[in-house]
Chains A and B, each alone.
Chain A
């Protein structure tokens, strides 16, 4: 059984979508329950990864391999390390909350919505498991289809524009990655296995081209400045669940891709161009933070803050290069890389929670404009503390998970270059500014808008959803040790790899 655990995690939600679709055309209630059942079962199965995975070694484990297209050397091969395990659990956890969050909210064809979400979940888990480049690519691309439909059918007024932009943007990036993979296939002599690709000898020129091919694919996904413009549109127009999944999981796939492709396959080019990524990350952290400051739309604000926070992920990953190769400081490199990973997980909880909160408000007032709110705490006393907690976490308050990752990255970058740390640390100020200012305008003060008076407080279902997110934010904020331990050995292995040059 444990041999096929990863396959189960991928295909259970994908195939689970079929009964949801079949049940749903006449009975939306049945579809909701089946969807919940499937997502809970997937979450339970993903928890089974924890005992099955040996965190001490950090190697790729739970390997499954099956020949898929023998004549091209494409295999259906899966394996996970600590980083993937953490991301898979994050995915299946978020998924339950998305299903719960959409319970009565999605009235238009709920069965199609839930089915699309489940398919999306399976494909995302597939991305985190695949150790064959072509299998990775297939999951990576297939993921776009359900997301395209989710934004396009259940989204806001400009959903069609947003969803087309989203799809074409991300497809654009990945098709060049595909060319890169085919080139690597050629170099390895007919294998798509990531381990073979990591071992193949490449000149610096080849590495540089490949690096940029991968960069296009992953930078758009993360997204990094300047290819981030699809994200605010997609977030604003997506339904709440779509935003949650997009921010909590999909963006992580970009960072994950850097770890699996750019670093092991093109280490020297990554080192060569690390400064470029670092500069872009710092621009994301500082400049996009300022952009967030002036947003009138809550979702847009959180979307921009996501870009800024993801800047820390890319910063942490690439600062490790400078530390390992230039400063000979592997301990600090590990710290930076670990910070990036913690940041990925923590941002999953925080952004998911923020978007859920905005969804709660939107369901009641049908507006996301900050100016339409004010004094919400007076009418929604249960909701307000959640909102404040997540806002605090978003601005990186110590004690919440938002602090841990950012702090580790800043600390690591200080060892590399104090200036980088200085710029990165700006986020603590800007982040606090935009989030707290939003909280002030939405929650505090007197009720100025008569519609706000009619707001009802959160119901049991919403309390469950927000509490689950809050638990994640607090647990990993106060006690990140288990999470760090889960990924520690895997991160160390990656950092060791960074030092190995190919030229």
Chain B
């Protein structure tokens, strides 16, 4: 029987769900002139949620609620905390964007909070059911968010594409889960793990694993399941793209970790389980993602599409860390996911800050000569681009360093070399963005200027400078990630 303790463990999720409902009601009763209040309230709501996540967690402890359906441990705490904080950051960016384009406030904030609750379920899942529940809550909210700008044809098209492919991948995942259930007679991830060794249904289990990896690959946006990424990134309102491009990556990492490591077994667990099999599959996905993401990004002229393809390559790096299948690799991947999420929030934040009503700063050429007009924001974008490219001393470099190290530790020097070559190709297109801002003369007519919204300007500065500061002070974050997987 679930008791009060179970509810207490889920307190942040319960609180956020109720708060989102209250916000929805509030929005319905507020006069149009007062809708701004929803914005500030939402930021408050997620920040309080973040506080609840941290305050409820004793260091190093791992507790389960509802008979193991939910796990509260270091991993879920870190991922939840960063998702919530990123959500607050995204809300700050989103306000001028939504206001300029008359996108309804209430729906955006409520759906976003529901999506974040989905992330929280997903990363805390102890059972296949919870994984699926969290995933659906996250993706259904996301489909609606992508379609939020309903007058835009591009948005609607993106939403349909996202929905169809998303449903397909959910189906695949569910299919794989049913096979795993068939082979192990359990939905609980730990029980599945224990049952793997003795099961006679090895082939069925392997098929299940393959289908689950398809689902994970889709969620991460790893090649060859990446088709939706460029269109959705480009078509969605930028305020939503930023969410899909940053906070969702944490969820995808959490889901991969729960399903593969907790469920299917890893190197660290003593019995290797199916680790050798999924390691190989992930390695293939990693190489494909690194190659496809980077090569196709080179020819992009649209900034959002460029970032979309670069996401694919970054997910390749994340997989390089996961391939390690040990605590070193997981912590490297989690560090990578967090660093990528922060960097990519700044990258899309830049697009928002540079856009205004009737002008989307979407083409790379729109940034031409930015250094002439707003040298400060050009510098911020330079930091973001070099961080994405992985040039030290910026934050993005250290994530790459850790995943490459994880690959070498796992004895996969070749994979590290593939990652290194991919980094060189990646450098080329990131440098092109910097080149356009700094070295090209501004084109007449399209005068890119930073938005007049003070909060988002500050947010961008803080976000981008954080990449520089964290480049020197990343030790605590790494220690935190390592502690999450220790023991």
Q: Which residues of A are in contact with B by a Cβ distance under 8 Å?
A: 25, 68-72, 109, 112, 134, 137-138, 141-142, 144-145, 148-149, 152-153, 159-160, 163-164, 167-168, 171-172, 175-176, 178-179, 182-183, 185-186
| B408 adjacent to A183 (CB under 8 Å) | yes
| B475 adjacent to A171 (CB under 8 Å) | no
What chain A residues lie within 8 Å of B413 (beta carbons)?
Answer: 179, 183
8 other A-B residue contacts (CB within 8 Å) besides A142-B391, A160-B435, A176-B420: A68-B475, A71-B482, A72-B405, A148-B431, A160-B439, A160-B440, A164-B428, A168-B428
**Could you tell me the distance between the alpha carbons of A69 and B471 in the complex, rounded to whole angstroms?**
11
**Could you tell me the distance between the alpha carbons of A183 and B416 in the complex, rounded to whole angstroms?**
10
Q: Is B409 an interface residue (CB 8 A)?
A: yes
Q: Is B298 an interface residue (CB 8 A)?
A: no
What chain B residues lie within 8 Å of A137 (beta carbons)?
Answer: 392
What chain B residues lie within 8 Å of A183 (beta carbons)?
Answer: 408, 413
| B475 adjacent to A145 (CB under 8 Å) | no
What chain B residues lie within 8 Å of A167 (beta carbons)?
Answer: 427, 431
| B392 adjacent to A164 (CB under 8 Å) | no
Contact of A152 among B386, B405, B435, B475 (CB under 8 A): B435
**Per-residue CB proximity of B157-200 to A under 8 Å, as 1/0?**
00000000000000000000000000000000000000000000
- Contact A71 to B375, CB < 8 A, known contacts A153-B438, A172-B424, A178-B404: no
Contact of A164 among B393, B404, B417, B431 (CB under 8 A): B431
| B420 adjacent to A178 (CB under 8 Å) | yes
Q: Is B423 an interface residue (CB 8 A)?
A: yes
Minimal beta-carbon separation of B356 from chain A (angstroms): 24
**Per-residue CB proximity of B415-433 to A under 8 Å, as 1/0?**
0110010011001100110
What chain A residues lie within 8 Å of B417 (beta carbons)?
Answer: 176, 179
| A186 adjacent to B475 (CB under 8 Å) | no
**Could you tell me the distance between the alpha carbons of A68 and B473 in the complex, rounded to whole angstroms?**
8
| A72 adjacent to B478 (CB under 8 Å) | yes
| A69 adjacent to B475 (CB under 8 Å) | yes
**Could you tell me the distance between the alpha carbons of A68 and B475 in the complex, rounded to whole angstroms?**
7
What chain B residues lie within 8 Å of A68 (beta carbons)?
Answer: 475
Contact of B427 among A134, A168, A186 (CB under 8 A): A168
Q: Is B66 an interface residue (CB 8 A)?
A: no
| B416 adjacent to A179 (CB under 8 Å) | yes
**Could you tell me the distance between the alpha carbons of A71 and B474 in the complex, rounded to whole angstroms?**
11
| B435 adjacent to A179 (CB under 8 Å) | no
Minimal beta-carbon separation of A233 from chain B (angstroms): 15
Q: Is B401 an interface residue (CB 8 A)?
A: yes
Q: Is B357 an interface residue (CB 8 A)?
A: no
| B391 adjacent to A145 (CB under 8 Å) | yes
| B401 adjacent to A182 (CB under 8 Å) | yes
The binding surface of chain A is classed by DSSP as: helix
**Per-residue CB proximity of B382-404 to A under 8 Å, as 1/0?**
10001000011100010001001
Q: Is B280 an interface residue (CB 8 A)?
A: no
For the A-B complex, the count of residue pairs with Cβ-Cβ distances under 8 Å equals: 86
| B478 adjacent to A71 (CB under 8 Å) | yes
| B474 adjacent to A69 (CB under 8 Å) | yes
| A138 adjacent to B393 (CB under 8 Å) | yes
Minimal beta-carbon separation of B317 from chain A (angstroms): 13
A171, A176, A186 interface centre (most CB from chain B within 10 Å)? A171
Minimal beta-carbon separation of A473 from chain B (angstroms): 35
What chain A residues lie within 8 Å of B438 (beta carbons)?
Answer: 149, 152-153
Contact of A178 among B375, B401, B434 (CB under 8 A): B401
| B375 adjacent to A112 (CB under 8 Å) | yes
B408, B423, B439 interface centre (most CB from chain A within 10 Å)? B439
Q: Is B479 an interface residue (CB 8 A)?
A: yes
Minimal beta-carbon separation of A203 from chain B (angstroms): 15
| B408 adjacent to A171 (CB under 8 Å) | no
**Could you tell me the distance between the alpha carbons of A142 and B394 in the complex, rounded to whole angstroms?**
9
Q: Which of B110-147 contact A (CB under 8 A)?
A: none
**Could you tell me the distance between the alpha carbons of A282 and B416 in the complex, rounded to whole angstroms?**
34
| A159 adjacent to B478 (CB under 8 Å) | no
| A179 adjacent to B424 (CB under 8 Å) | no
What chain B residues lie within 8 Å of A138 (beta carbons)?
Answer: 392-393, 397
Minimal beta-carbon separation of A78 from chain B (angstroms): 15
Minimal beta-carbon separation of A237 from chain B (angstroms): 11
**Could you tell me the distance between the alpha carbons of A458 and B388 in the complex, rounded to whole angstroms?**
46
What chain A residues lie within 8 Å of B408 (beta carbons)?
Answer: 179, 182-183, 186
What chain B residues lie within 8 Å of A153 (beta carbons)?
Answer: 371, 438-439
What chain A residues lie within 8 Å of B431 (beta carbons)?
Answer: 148, 164, 167-168
Minimal beta-carbon separation of A118 from chain B (angstroms): 15
**Could you tell me the distance between the alpha carbons of A160 and B371 in the complex, rounded to whole angstroms?**
15
Contact of B393 among A71, A142, A159, A163 (CB under 8 A): A142
- Contact A171 to B478, CB < 8 A, known contacts A153-B439, A160-B439: no
| B439 adjacent to A159 (CB under 8 Å) | yes
Minimal beta-carbon separation of B421 from chain A (angstroms): 8
What chain B residues lie within 8 Å of A25 (beta carbons)?
Answer: 375
Contact of A175 among B409, B423, B474, B482 (CB under 8 A): B423
Minimal beta-carbon separation of A149 from chain B (angstroms): 6
**Could you tell me the distance between the alpha carbons of A477 and B382 in the complex, rounded to whole angstroms?**
43
What chain B residues lie within 8 Å of A159 (beta carbons)?
Answer: 439
Which single residue of chain B is at the shortest CB-CB distance from A68? B475
- Contact A185 to B405, CB < 8 A, known contacts A171-B427, A172-B424, A179-B417: yes
| B439 adjacent to A171 (CB under 8 Å) | no
What chain A residues lie within 8 Å of B416 (beta carbons)?
Answer: 179, 182
| B409 adjacent to A144 (CB under 8 Å) | no
Minimal beta-carbon separation of B394 from chain A (angstroms): 8
**Could you tell me the distance between the alpha carbons of A160 and B439 in the complex, rounded to whole angstroms?**
7
**Could you tell me the distance between the alpha carbons of A265 and B431 in the complex, rounded to whole angstroms?**
33
**Could you tell me the distance between the alpha carbons of A426 and B375 in the complex, rounded to whole angstroms?**
50
Which single residue of chain A is at the shortest CB-CB distance from B420? A175
Minimal beta-carbon separation of B69 from chain A (angstroms): 32
**Could you tell me the distance between the alpha carbons of A71 and B479 in the complex, rounded to whole angstroms?**
7
19 contacts between A and B (CB under 8 A): A68-B475, A69-B475, A71-B478, A71-B482, A138-B397, A148-B434, A153-B438, A159-B439, A160-B439, A167-B427, A168-B427, A175-B424, A179-B404, A179-B413, A179-B420, A182-B401, A182-B405, A182-B408, A183-B413
What chain B residues lie within 8 Å of A182 (beta carbons)?
Answer: 401, 404-405, 408, 416
Minimal beta-carbon separation of B97 from chain A (angstroms): 29
Q: Which of B432-487 contact A (CB under 8 A)?
A: 432, 434-435, 438-440, 474-475, 478-479, 482
**Could you tell me the distance between the alpha carbons of A175 and B422 in the complex, rounded to whole angstroms?**
10
**Could you tell me the distance between the alpha carbons of A160 and B438 in the complex, rounded to whole angstroms?**
10
Minimal beta-carbon separation of A489 from chain B (angstroms): 32
What chain B residues lie within 8 Å of A109 (beta carbons)?
Answer: 375
What chain A residues lie within 8 Å of B424 (beta carbons)?
Answer: 168, 171-172, 175
Minimal beta-carbon separation of A5 from chain B (angstroms): 20
Minimal beta-carbon separation of A469 from chain B (angstroms): 30
Which single residue of chain B is at the shortest CB-CB distance from A155? B439
**Could you tell me the distance between the alpha carbons of A137 and B391 in the complex, rounded to whole angstroms?**
10
**Could you tell me the distance between the alpha carbons of A69 and B423 in the complex, rounded to whole angstroms?**
23
**Could you tell me the distance between the alpha carbons of A134 and B402 in the complex, rounded to whole angstroms?**
12
| B427 adjacent to A70 (CB under 8 Å) | no
**Could you tell me the distance between the alpha carbons of A240 and B248 in the complex, rounded to whole angstroms?**
48
Q: Which of B248-265 contact A (CB under 8 A)?
A: none
